[in-house]
Amino acid sequence: MIKKSLSGLIFVLMMVSVPVFAGWQALPKVAPAPDNNPTTAAKVTLGKMLFMDPRISSTGTVSCNSCHNVMEGGDDSRTFSMGVHGQLGGRNAPTVWNAAFHSVQFWDGRVDLLEDQAKGPITNPVEMGEPDHDHTMVKIKAIPGYKPYFEKAFGRNSMTIDNLAKAIAAFERTLITPDSPYDKYVSGDKHAISAQQIRGMKTFAATGCTSCHSGAAFNGPSMDFGKGFYAKFPTFADNAYNKDYNLSADKGRQEATGKAADAHMFRVPTLRNITDTAPYFHNGSVNSLSEAVRIMAKVQLNKTLNDQEVSDIVAFLSALTGPYPEISMPRLPATTGISLFAGE
């Protein structure tokens, strides 16, 4: 009788401490980089300067950091980001933290690498508004202080748009947040997260959330660069959530490819640091993480969660927020007695 009771107790303890999904992974401590752009300290230093420099934009008012504020959650806390001349974009700015673990970039996956992503906003008329990349580099070359940084990172005669993008991408690959409570838990520290977070972890898996949000970054399985992991959103459109939050208005990847099969397909976003990146979804329509969890269960899995399940999942998601590395603001090279924006 005692032996049977002990066996039952051991089974209960195992159910409390062992999650139901076998694919839990800790976030790597170093982000992957393509062979043609290995990460170096010189590139990171230059890339941080360029990331913070609003002179890349046509008005001198918008930097990469304007929409992807690395001094906070890597986004701008807005429904839609504000670009040059106060224009608003059409999609919510995703966090740049842990973007290095995406196999494709942008919500619609229209480019493969961070290097390609870094070039896009510069000439987007709503975002940075530069007429072309040549014009951008004319301005950067007119700032004498940038030349030695480019040469240290890439060698002589290296002030090109490709190297500018490579430097920004190298900096972005340092923007990762391993060692979250979740990472410590799956690495063996069974006291790293609370009992509620463990329940939420199990509920997250049992509900089916891991069918899309798997892998170390909770953005799908590890894939080679350029082979994006996409999901249809919303999958179940016949519900009040879809109507109330206008989730089907954006055609997603179809707007990039023109293919009907890509309608409403989106790159699966990371759930890392999700507590710090409201509002949620591609259209920034949801301000509450609890509401976002309810919506995802319904529109993606056709399931209705009760209050306890929602609370537990939100608690688990909070365990995915890792310590942010300290970032100091760089001193940018001066324009040295000229204006890059005279008459504008």
pLDDT tens, 131-147? Answer: 999 999 999 999 999 99
Residues 167 and 188 in one domain: no
The one catalytic residue among 127, 130, 172, 309: 127
Cβ neighbours of 23 (radius 10 Å): 11
Q: What is the pTM of this model?
A: 0.92
Note whether 104 and 228 are same-domain residues. Answer: no
* Domain boundaries, position 227: 22-27+178-318
Domain count, the chain: 2
Catalytic site includes residue 127: yes
Q: What is the pLDDT of residue 70?
A: 97
Q: What is the mean pLDDT of residues 77-83?
A: 97
Least confident of 92-101, 112-121, 229-238, 329-338: 329-338
C-alpha to C-alpha distances, 240 to 123, 244, 245, 276, nearest whole angstrom:
38, 6, 8, 26
User: 1 lies in a domain?
Assistant: no
pLDDT digits (tens, 9 = 90+) for 37-72: 999 999 999 999 999 999 999 999 999 999 999 999
Domain co-membership, 197 together with 217: yes
Residue at which a domain ends, from 152, 172, 192? 172
Residue 248, by phi and psi: left (phi above 0), alpha (psi -120 to 50) or beta? alpha
Q: What is the pLDDT of residue 223?
A: 76
Q: Are 116 and 37 in contact (CB under 8 A)?
A: no
pLDDT confidence band for 12 (50 / 70 / 90): very low
Note whether 183 and 303 are same-domain residues. yes
Cβ atoms within 10 Å of 158's Cβ, excluding its own: 17
pLDDT digits (tens, 9 = 90+) for 284-326: 999 999 999 999 999 999 999 999 999 999 999 999 999 999 9
Q: Which of 198-207, 215-224, 229-238 has the lowest mean pLDDT?
A: 215-224
Residues 187 and 314 in one domain: yes
Residue 3 in domain: no
pLDDT category of residue 19 using cuts at 50, 70 and 90: low
Say how far apart CA 282 and CA 110 lie, in whole Å: 15
CATH of the domain at 90: 1.10.760.10
**If you search the block for the tokens 């933290």, which residue do you land on?**
97
Confidence bin at 118 (pLDDT 50/70/90): very high
Residue 272 has pLDDT above 80, yes or no: yes
Query: Does one domain contain both 131 and 191?
Result: no
